[in-house]
Amino acid sequence: MLGFVIQRIIQAVVVMLVISVLVFVGVYAVGNPIDVLISPDATQLIREQTIRAYGLDQPLWKQYLDFLIRLLHGDFGRSFVYNMPVLELIFSRLPATIELTLTAVLGATILGVPLGIYAGYRPDRLLAKLIMGLSIFGFSVPTFWIGLVLIFTFAVTLGWFPAGNRGPTASLWGIEWSFLTGEGLAYLFLPALNLSLFKFAMMVRLARAGTRETMLTDTVKFARASGESEFTILTRHVLRLISIPIVTVFGLELGSTLAFAVVTETIFSWPGVGKLIIDSIATLDRPVMVAYLMLVAFLFIMINLTVDIVYVFLDPRLRHRRS
């Protein structure tokens, strides 16, 4: 197990290096930030001074090496636009995104899996058909549209929830969180609901497909022949047997939502990293783009590693193959 983790960490370092090259070259290939940094009527002298100050006159490989060396010192550079350390900027936004994403993905899973199991267990019942109808809805309706509908219905018309922004936060471990205050929760509700609808639909379908398949196996028949109750069969046998694909999708969704909750964050003016990256692309704020993409890659690697470790706990066959 430990060997496996160490092996994966070495892999992760290699992947991060490759990603850094790709991101650096990719980002530097698009546009010239100097036009954004100085006013159009600046003199040639100021222009050249600025270029030199940001190291933009150096060849690409030199710029990359400098970037890598600074990186090893934990320095991602300063944002051109905000004129503050990039890391500080991203971490000031990250808790908002993490909070939103975790609420959405966890909520979708906690609600979607049991409903999906039910829909797979009794596919002919009316409730099962309703659940499946809802999941088709969640799959096919675009996020931005449902977001606007949510705002219109629950914020504008009914006035139950705020229409946007993050609202009050409370501090835990030195980080500001909304979910710790009642009012903050109200601000969190609509964007999280908006973000979770698609994931909910996916979890329902995944759990339903797995349950339908598992219910036909001899494992379930044998458990029934032993007199075990249907509840025991669903919670102890079926849930365990369908958990591997669910954990896989959970990990993937968590990663991609953390990185790309852009649409929801924009509609609800949620001050997360998704909004930050869109803004920085618009202003060609290279250090922010690079650091953000590196961070996303890192998050994906960490999530995948966690998922792989969870597999080993869920499926004993993997455990013994490794040792």
Partner 1 sequence: MSRILLEVEGLSTHFMTRNGVLKAVNDVSFTLHEGEIIGLVGESGSGKSVTGFSILGLVDPPGKIVSGSVRLQGRDLIGMSEPELRTVRGREISMVFQDPSTTLNPVLSIGTQMRLALAAHEKVSREAADARCIDVLNKVGIPDAARRLDSFPHQFSGGMRQRVAIAIALLNRPKLIICDEPTTALDVSIQAQILLQMKTLAQDFGTAMIWISHDLSTVSSVASQLLVMYAGRMIESGPVRDLLRVPNHPYTQGLLNSLPEHARPGQPLVQIPGQMPSLIGLGAECAFLSRCTRSDSLCQASPALKSSGERRVRCHHPVAGDWS
Q: Using the minimum distance from each CB to partner 1, give the nearer residue, 45 or 225.
A: 225
Q: What is the largest CA-CA distance in the chain?
A: 87
Q: Using the minimum distance from each CB to partner 1, give the nearer residue, 97 or 243.
A: 243
List contacts with partner 1 (CB under 8 A).
216-219, 221-229, 232, 236-237, 240-241, 314-317, 320
Q: In sequence order, which ranges of 216-238 are alpha helices (DSSP H)?
A: 218-225, 230-232
Distance CA 191, CA 175 (A): 20
**Distances, alpha carbon 66 to alpha carbons 48, 62, 70, 86, 156, in Å:** 19, 6, 6, 16, 51
Minimal distance, residue 208 CB to partner 1, in Å: 17
User: Among residues 156, 154, 165, 171, which one has the least CA distance to residue 188?
Assistant: 165
| Beta pairing partners, 78 | 85
Minimal distance, residue 219 CB to partner 1, in Å: 5
Minimal distance, residue 202 CB to partner 1, in Å: 23
Minimal distance, residue 142 CB to partner 1, in Å: 38
Q: Using the minimum distance from each CB to partner 1, give the nearer residue, 41 or 124.
A: 124
Minimal distance, residue 307 CB to partner 1, in Å: 16
Minimal distance, residue 110 CB to partner 1, in Å: 21
Distance CA 292, CA 280 (A): 10
Q: Using the minimum distance from each CB to partner 1, give the nearer residue, 189 or 311.
A: 311
**Residue 204 CB-density burial (10 A; 0-12 exposed, 13-18 middle, 19+ buried):** buried
Task: Supply the DSSP symbol for 155.
Answer: I
Q: Using the minimum distance from each CB to partner 1, give the nearer residue, 176 or 315.
A: 315
Q: Using the minimum distance from each CB to partner 1, give the nearer residue, 235 or 306.
A: 235
**Residue 14 CB-density burial (10 A; 0-12 exposed, 13-18 middle, 19+ buried):** exposed
